[in-house]
Structure 1
């Protein structure tokens, strides 16, 4: 498994570099073909390369991605290494170790029949070209297992994830000379400042109290995932130092615990109004990944806990997380979904990214038994 992991890690696969992702797909596809005895279907959409294996009539979906956040050349500063039981390298945790565990778990079974393996090449950028593939593959399955890394270094499985929405608020003003006649302009930067404050206050305006379940009569109750977050992020305005800005843009990151809250925030974002006389707004973007609510994973987590006990492993822990994954899409398609079944480690997307080697085999055994029991479900 370590040799296979090294092979994947040293083939860099930065999401924005489609040629690198295509090279990675060849390496991942060859590894899967060797272990599973079948070549994958290679699907290229808008230049992004995805892989899919289908064995019989699938009842179980194994879901992963082979792209990473690490630009090509990162191996020079973050080389592959294994020392003191820790594997390091770009993308080793998120999520190339998960792919290795996935292949070895399925290869350990007498037959892969009843399983679909889908590995996409654009998860790190929101899966824009693979979302339809994920939803299509998940729709008729009894279970989806996502090989993203565990929630923490204790190996907790991800039983719920917030959904995501992304917006860009475009502010249109009117240019004028900042020294000679600023009064003839409409300052888009000032209006953008008003919008930043208004956006930051949207959650409070909904009467949301968080995960406690207590709320006012006009408020919104949130799930165990907690309250939504509505965060202005990127901000830009103006063209030159001596010109009243005619254009400004505010990017907004939204994380939501439930579909109802996601819809409510979408309405509020689209209802934003200009505060500066003469300014106009346009709200772009919208809902992206739906939330993976706790109900989607409850039965599968219970089964995984039972299997872990039977295997003599430590009791499994569950975690709800704010970050989204392709598990959101699988759950949104109506497929029971359990996430975080991949590697145990830490530092995803950071200089400290690493995998605990000793946990790879137990996690592989756990996945193999989950596949066996869930594909027999009617």
Structure 2
């Protein structure tokens, strides 16, 4: 497993780098096929299938991804290393170690000859930017599943995730009218000024709500002697509950200009709905806790602030747990690390879970 993780880590795979992603995808597909999966692709996303053996239990869907936040060359500053139980390198924790543990577990399950349910795995190529091209695929597969397990990193120490904040990336664009800023300013409509007013007003919508709003990027204009004809801002929004999510996104979709002749458009770049803990998830957690106890592991679960593809399945009402990747720390940080022993622990747990004819 350590050799496999080293191979995956050295194949750097930043979101959007088609060549780098393709190189890792080829290796992952070969390893998945050796483990026993039938492999296919939908766009850049990897689809792995393990047919049921001697059981008619419902389909188990697992969600993972093979893109990382780290650009090619990150290995120069955060090289692969193993020191005692600590494994470091870009993407080891989020979430290449999870793929290693999963493939090892499936190989063992097949070798055992024991019954197991049908297992479907989606390995997403653009998860780190909100899975804008994977949402429909995740929703379609979730409708077939009786339970979903997310292969994202767990809480510190290894506990699972039973809910997630809603997460949306949105863009506000303003089209104004360019004119000479000194000779004929009234003929123009300043898109930057309009955007600033729109952002100020939108903050008032969010104020006093349990909503996180971050203006991540802003751009526009060109020269100081030209009235700006275009401006845009990208926003990051996090929600604790569906009601506030609906209200805030509704306001974002109905922006009206303050200046005559200004044109305002808004759109969602990526959207993951709020996933709140429910009875189905709690039942699944209790089942997984018992199975973990049977192999002398202790774990529990609680909601998380970060978002992932399990937002989509959990919000659909499909029993969902996340955080099945190995324990570690430093996601999206230069000190990212994963526990070597934790990889073995998660492979053992996944093997035990896959041997259940049904988790529900």
Instruction: Please report the TM-score for the alignment, with normalisation by the length of structure 2.
Output: 0.89
Matches within 5 A, 1:130-169: 130-152=134-156, 154-169=157-172
Greater mean deviation of Cα atoms: 142-151 or 27-36:
27-36
SS of match in other structure, 2:216 = strand
SS of match in other structure, 1:191 = helix
**Residue 328 of structure 1: which of 297, 300, 311 is its match?**
311
Aligned to 2:133: 129
**Residue 319 of structure 1: which of 297, 302, 307 is its match?**
302
Cα distance in 1 for partners of 2:155, 2:348 equals: 19
Please report how far the alpha carbon of residue 274 of structure 1 lies from its aligned counterpart in structure 2 after TM superposition. 2.1
Please report how far the alpha carbon of residue 113 of structure 1 lies from its aligned counterpart in structure 2 after TM superposition. 4.2
CA deviation map 1:45-78 (0-9, x unaligned):
1xx2423223137521122111212222322332
SS of match in other structure, 2:272 = coil
Aligned to 2:184: 181
CA deviation map 1:245-277 (0-9, x unaligned):
122112222222333332222211122222234
**8 Å Cα contact 1:62-1:102 kept in structure 2:** no
Aligned to 1:215: none
Please report how far the alpha carbon of residue 351 of structure 1 lies from its aligned counterpart in structure 2 after TM superposition. 0.9
Please report how far the alpha carbon of residue 282 of structure 1 lies from its aligned counterpart in structure 2 after TM superposition. 1.6
Matches within 5 A, 1:280-359: 280-285=263-268, 288-295=271-278, 297-314=281-298, 316-359=299-342
Aligned to 1:103: 103
Gap regions ≥5 residues in structure 2: none
Cα distance in 1 for partners of 2:167, 2:80 equals: 32
Aligned to 2:5: 5
**8 Å Cα contact 2:287-2:359 kept in structure 1:** no
Greater mean deviation of Cα atoms: 71-80 or 336-345:
71-80
Matches within 5 A, 1:217-232: 227-232=210-215
Matches within 5 A, 1:23-102: 23-36=23-36, 38=37, 40-45=38-43, 48-56=44-52, 59-102=59-102
**8 Å Cα contact 1:233-1:252 kept in structure 2:** yes
Cα distance in 2 for partners of 1:73, 1:189 equals: 36
SS of match in other structure, 1:304 = helix
Cα distance in 1 for partners of 2:136, 2:260 equals: 43
**8 Å Cα contact 1:189-1:247 kept in structure 2:** yes
**8 Å Cα contact 2:292-2:349 kept in structure 1:** yes
SS of match in other structure, 1:158 = strand
CA deviation map 1:225-249 (0-9, x unaligned):
xx22233321112121211112211
Alpha carbon RMSD of aligned pairs, Å?
2.2
Aligned to 2:118: 114
Please report how far the alpha carbon of residue 344 of structure 1 lies from its aligned counterpart in structure 2 after TM superposition. 0.8
Cα distance in 1 for partners of 2:65, 2:130 equals: 11
Cα 1:142/1:264, change in 2 over 3 Å: same
CA deviation map 1:70-89 (0-9, x unaligned):
22232233221111211111
Please report how far the alpha carbon of residue 170 of structure 1 lies from its aligned counterpart in structure 2 after TM superposition. 1.4
Instruction: Count how many residue pairs are aligned between Structure 1 and Structure 2.
Output: 351
Instruction: Please report the TM-score for the alignment, with normalisation by the length of structure 1.
Output: 0.86
**8 Å Cα contact 2:353-2:359 kept in structure 1:** no
**Residue 193 of structure 2: which of 190, 193, 213 is its match?**
190
Please report how far the alpha carbon of residue 2 of structure 1 lies from its aligned counterpart in structure 2 after TM superposition. 0.9
Cα distance in 1 for partners of 2:90, 2:103 equals: 20
Aligned to 1:21: 21
**8 Å Cα contact 1:266-1:287 kept in structure 2:** no
